[in-house]
């Protein structure tokens, strides 16, 4: 008898399909039970059928009608923020745990290497955004050493890797990421920017993190960032630093100072800058789509932790 937790994916687009393939190829604790979409001709549903995964093109309503749904414990939502709100209303009364890959942020934010064990009993956890998954670990690494008065991230992704869900949720992306920079990353104030790069051939995801701090131990900050990069690489091998952590002194009249609480920035202000790139594993998506790969990898890691926790609690 299998002891793996059965999961379902809502959304048969790029993210949902990549997530399905990761569950099938990589997970020892999760079992792919069903995929739901709304386009009967989508490549994701076709691939699921070829892989002997139960499917429906009738969305969440069709999912709950599948016989396979009866044993599903965790549902991934890889659709859009607006759709997720409806999915949550349908699934919450049925007692399923939701792992939300949209910026809806109904449940608490989860960044696996930062607070992956903090919300194991939550019925709905939110994976923030691709930019958040790539950069918030860095903000948290800096804030573990010294207070971060202001954290700003810029996520640059290939235009080709931004599907209709991403494009429809640009506002939610920036708002959700900024809040998570504060709530999970530990910055007093956060800001997020996304850039859709139309370059051909497509460029892989690149991220810039700026943290406004007071005088600090630069070696300790660098070591903390490098350690955090290693923790992310454990489940996203293509995640890496582009260069050493940079420290720049902020002039007394620099307007950047105004972005942090004036009483705490002090006279010896520094800007800590970290430059990253994220190459995808190319399980389903092209390697340049690191933005999508880091989301599905983080969701997989989170679901595996949830499954282990649920199994432990059930055995008590």
Tell whether 224 is in a known binding site. no
Q: Classify residue 109 by its DSSP letter.
A: B
Tell whether 167 is in a known binding site. yes
Q: Is 168 helix (H, G, I), strand (E, B) or coil?
A: helix
Catalytic residue among 32, 60, 130, 278: 130
Tell whether 291 is in a known binding site. yes
Tell whether 280 is in a known binding site. no
Which two three-digit tokens encode residue 246? Answer: 């940079």
In terms of DSSP bridges, do strands 148-158 and 190-197 run parallel, antiparallel, or are they unpaired? parallel
Q: Classify residue 70 by its DSSP letter.
A: G
Give the residue from 105, 308, 280 showing the smallest Cα distance to 206: 280
Tell whether 174 is in a known binding site. no
Tell whether 115 is in a known binding site. no
Residue 130 falls in the annotated catalytic set: yes
Cβ contact 88:276 at 8 Å: no
- Dihedral (CA of 82, 85, 91, 97) sign: positive
Tell whether 286 is in a known binding site. no
Sequence-distant (≥ 6) Cβ neighbours of residue 89 within 8 angstroms = none
Task: Please provide residue 72's backbone torsions phi and psi, each rounded to the nearest 5 degrees.
Answer: -75, 130
Tell whether 15 is in a known binding site. yes
Which two three-digit tokens encode residue 300? Answer: 């997989």
Q: Is 137 helix (H, G, I), strand (E, B) or coil?
A: helix
In whole angstroms, how far apart are CA 60 and each of 12, 78, 80, 275, 311?
A: 12, 12, 13, 39, 25
* Alpha helix positions (H), the chain: 14-26, 43-50, 59-65, 81-91, 112-115, 130-143, 164-168, 170-183, 218-233, 262-265, 290-315
CA angle 123, 126, 128 (to 5 degrees): 175
Tell whether 13 is in a known binding site. yes
Tell whether 240 is in a known binding site. no
Q: Classify residue 185 by its DSSP letter.
A: T
Tell whether 273 is in a known binding site. no
Tell whether 206 is in a known binding site. no
Residue numbering of the annotated binding site for NAD(+):
12-15, 161-169, 291
Active site residues: 130
Residue numbering of the annotated binding site:
12-15, 161-169, 291
């Amino acid at each position: 008898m299998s002891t793996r937790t059965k999961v379902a994916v809502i959304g048969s687009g790029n993210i949902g399909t990549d997530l399905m393939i990761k569950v099938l190829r990589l997970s020892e604790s999760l079992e792919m039970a069903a995929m739901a979409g709304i386009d009967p001709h989508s490549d994701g549903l076709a691939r699921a059928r070829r892989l002997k995964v139960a499917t429906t093109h009738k969305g969440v309503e069709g999912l709950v009608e599948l016989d396979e749904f009866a044993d599903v414990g965790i549902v991934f939502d890889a659709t859009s923020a607006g759709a997720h709100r409806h999915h949550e209303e349908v699934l919450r009364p049925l007692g399923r745990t939701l792992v939300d890959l949209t910026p809806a942020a109904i449940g608490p934010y989860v960044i696996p290497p930062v607070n992956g064990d903090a919300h194991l009993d939550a019925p709905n956890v939110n994976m923030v955004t691709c930019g958040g998954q790539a950069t918030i670990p860095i903000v948290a690494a800096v804030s573990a050493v010294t207070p971060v008065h202001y954290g700003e991230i810029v996520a640059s992704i290939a235009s080709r890797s931004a599907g209709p869900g991403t494009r429809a949720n640009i506002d939610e992306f920036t708002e959700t990421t900024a809040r998570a920079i504060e709530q999970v990353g530990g910055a007093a104030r956060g800001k997020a920017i996304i850039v859709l790069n139309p370059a051909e051939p497509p460029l892989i995801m690149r991220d810039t993190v700026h943290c406004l701090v007071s005088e600090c131990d630069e070696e300790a900050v660098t070591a903390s960032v490098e350690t955090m990069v290693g923790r992310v690489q454990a489940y996203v091998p293509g995640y890496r630093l582009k260069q050493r952590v940079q420290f720049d002194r902020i002039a007394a009249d620099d307007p950047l100072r105004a972005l942090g609480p004036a009483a705490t920035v002090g006279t010896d202000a520094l800007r800590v800058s970290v430059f990253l790139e994220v190459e995808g594993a190319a399980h389903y998506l092209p390697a340049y789509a690191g933005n999508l790969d880091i989301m599905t990898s983080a969701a997989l890691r989170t679901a595996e932790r949830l499954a282990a926790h649920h199994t432990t609690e059930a055995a008590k």
